[in-house]
Amino acid sequence: MSNCCRRYCCCCCNVFCCSGNGHSISPPPFETPPVGNLLIFVNPKSGAGRSLEVFNKQIASQLIAKNINYELIVTEGSGHACSIVKTRKDIYLFNAIVICSGDGLIFEVINGLLERPDRSEIIPRLPIGIVPSGSGNALLGSVLHTRKLPLEDGPFQQTACSIIQDLEALAFPVNLLHIETPEQHFGAFLSIGWGLLGDIDIESERFRRIFGSGRFAIGAVLRLLNLRTYRGRLSFLESGPSEPAQADPFRVYETTMPPPFEVVMKEPEPLERIPIIPDSKKEEMGDFWETRYLSSYGQIPRLNEAVPENWTIIEDEFVFVYVMSLSHISNKGYYVPQAGLVDDRIYLTYALKKDVTSKITLAKFLDALDHGRHNETQAFDFFKIIPVKSFRLEPIDSGSYIVVDGEDIKCKSIQATVTNLNMAVMAK
């Protein structure tokens, strides 16, 4: 089979298919107009490597039966999906982007969209559908939790698959964070980790294909046997009283889509998915993100500026620092119960070496964390949680990973701030 045919599923319900010689050909005409149009990315290496099998067995035939048009792209490596979404001129013709993978590919797609000049218009209005096939599925777990839908592995995946082909599916807004490092500005939707939890995430990658999500337990045991601690400077601006969030869900399949290949650019009507492409003049990403801070934040410094006097600074030896914007660290890992999908704060958690009495206590904490019970007992009083608007981490010791949404970010310091820019995630 040619590489081209592996990338694009060739059936009459696809927007795009290809001949054996790699040239694109138009699909046959539809008997009736499709009721929706999806751009689908499958990462064949995510989790235990079963994502393409999941799509073929649990989704493809249902989309055909519901007359939902789709374009299927099997990603060929890191950056493939990013390069597509940031350059597609017809991306407004899709009702949603569906990702068959874990949180890593979602991170890549969101940051690809953020590189577009029309990012402010497209990110809140083009939903992300998620078919969980990675070892970390925290974003969808957090969204389905708010909808009181099942999070156990089997029902979790079945529910996710049913959402994609549900013509009544809704898109729920989810906050994005502004991440600044000395080298770049980008977006995140979930977490920033350093120390023990970040090390477990990255160092367990080698067990992904064999153990899937079980890799985290293997990684935790290995890291506890050789526990490391790190000196660092943690600075943060504590959050005041919560501001009520105003972000309503919208229907994903709200309109009949235009025929394939017909690119329409016109003045947007309310709820239409075809907004004006803004002026192509490049906007500095740091300036863009600053316009997305809430007015109540006060002055948030750039990373290369000193923190204001109203920030708290802790310079000490840490076991871990872990910052969450959502409730779950996996579909079953209930980390921050009070976190909402649209929140005006992020949740800074950390543990200092001087407060952790033994490795056994830490092992019990990680076991409780795996089952979402770490907040239910006073036995883990070393676990600190503080709602903040912005935080900065400056490692003093080298050696630990800085992990954003499960991705290893090579940087010497990092700052994260809550924004009012929302992505949208499919649920029901």
215 in the same domain as 301 = yes
Is the per-residue pLDDT at 382 higher than 80?
Answer: yes
Banded model confidence at residue 30, pLDDT cuts 50, 70, 90: low
What's the pLDDT score for residue 24? Answer: 31
Q: Domain holding 337: CATH number?
A: 2.60.200.40
307 in the same domain as 234 = yes
Residue 347 located in a structural domain: yes
In the 8-state DSSP scheme, what is residue 343?
A: -
What's the pLDDT score for residue 144? Answer: 96
**Residues in Cβ contact with 266 at an 8 Å cutoff, skipping those fewer than 6 apart:** 274
Q: What is the mean pLDDT of the segment spanning 15-33?
A: 43
352 in the same domain as 222 = yes
210 in the same domain as 154 = no
297 in the same domain as 188 = yes
227 in the same domain as 115 = no
Specify the higher pLDDT residue, 371 or 417: 417
Residue 282 located in a structural domain: no
- Asked if residue 402 lies in contact with residue 409, where contact means CB atoms within 8 angstroms, the answer is yes
The domain boundary, picked from 175, 190, 216, lies at 175
111 in the same domain as 206 = no
Q: Annotated active-site positions, please?
A: 103
195 in the same domain as 123 = no
Banded model confidence at residue 282, pLDDT cuts 50, 70, 90: very low
Residue 29 located in a structural domain: yes
Strands 185-188 vs 96-101: parallel, antiparallel or unpaired: unpaired
Q: Which domain holds residue 19?
A: 3-175
Q: How many domains does the chain have?
A: 2
What's the pLDDT score for residue 249? Answer: 94
21 in the same domain as 65 = yes
What's the pLDDT score for residue 32? Answer: 80
Banded model confidence at residue 260, pLDDT cuts 50, 70, 90: very low
- 164 by Cβ neighbours in 10 Å (0-12 / 13-18 / 19+) ranks as buried
What's the pLDDT score for residue 379? Answer: 75
What's the pLDDT score for residue 3? Answer: 31
Is the per-residue pLDDT at 29 higher than 70?
Answer: no
Query: 208-222, 245-259, 300-314, 364-378: lowest mean pLDDT where?
Result: 208-222
What's the pLDDT score for residue 301? Answer: 95
Is the per-residue pLDDT at 403 higher than 90?
Answer: yes
Please write the tens of the pLDDT for every residue from 54-73: 899 999 999 999 999 999 99
What's the pLDDT score for residue 168? Answer: 96
Q: Domain holding 146: CATH number?
A: 3.40.50.10330
What's the pLDDT score for residue 205? Answer: 65
What mean pLDDT value characterizes the chain? 82
117 in the same domain as 190 = no
Specify the higher pLDDT residue, 197 or 96: 96
What's the pLDDT score for residue 375? Answer: 78
In the 8-state DSSP scheme, what is residue 403?
A: E
Is the per-residue pLDDT at 42 higher than 50?
Answer: yes
Residue 280 located in a structural domain: no
What's the pLDDT score for residue 98? Answer: 97
What's the pLDDT score for residue 13? Answer: 36
- Our CA dihedral for 403, 406, 408, 412, rounded to 10 degrees, sits at -20
Query: 73-87, 305-319, 377-391: lowest mean pLDDT where?
Result: 377-391
Query: 24-33, 111-120, 286-295: lowest mean pLDDT where?
Result: 24-33
Is the per-residue pLDDT at 12 higher than 50?
Answer: no
Residue 196 located in a structural domain: yes
The domain boundary, picked from 153, 175, 197, lies at 175
- Distance (Å, rounded) from C-alpha 94 to C-alpha 36? 7
In the 8-state DSSP scheme, what is residue 212?
A: G
Length of the chain: 428
Torsion over CA: 304, 309, 311, 316 (sign): positive
Please write the tens of the pLDDT for every residue from 194-251: 998 878 877 766 665 555 556 556 766 777 777 888 999 999 999 987 765 667 899 9
What percentage of the chain reaches a pLDDT higher than 70? 80
- Cβ atoms < 10 Å from Cβ of 267: 8
Residue 218 located in a structural domain: yes
The domain boundary, picked from 134, 149, 175, lies at 175
Query: 18-22, 82-86, 141-145: lowest mean pLDDT where?
Result: 18-22
Residue 255 located in a structural domain: no
Is the per-residue pLDDT at 108 higher than 80?
Answer: yes
What's the pLDDT score for residue 371? Answer: 72
Residue 321 located in a structural domain: yes
Q: What global pTM score does this model have?
A: 0.84
Per-position DSSP letters for 289-331, written without gaps between them = HHTTS-GGG-PPPPTTSPPPTTSEEEEEEEEEEEEESSSBSSS
299 in the same domain as 158 = no
What's the pLDDT score for residue 297? Answer: 80
**Residues in Cβ contact with 313 at an 8 Å cutoff, skipping those fewer than 6 apart:** 233, 234, 235, 307
What's the pLDDT score for residue 226? Answer: 79
What's the pLDDT score for residue 85? Answer: 97
221 in the same domain as 115 = no
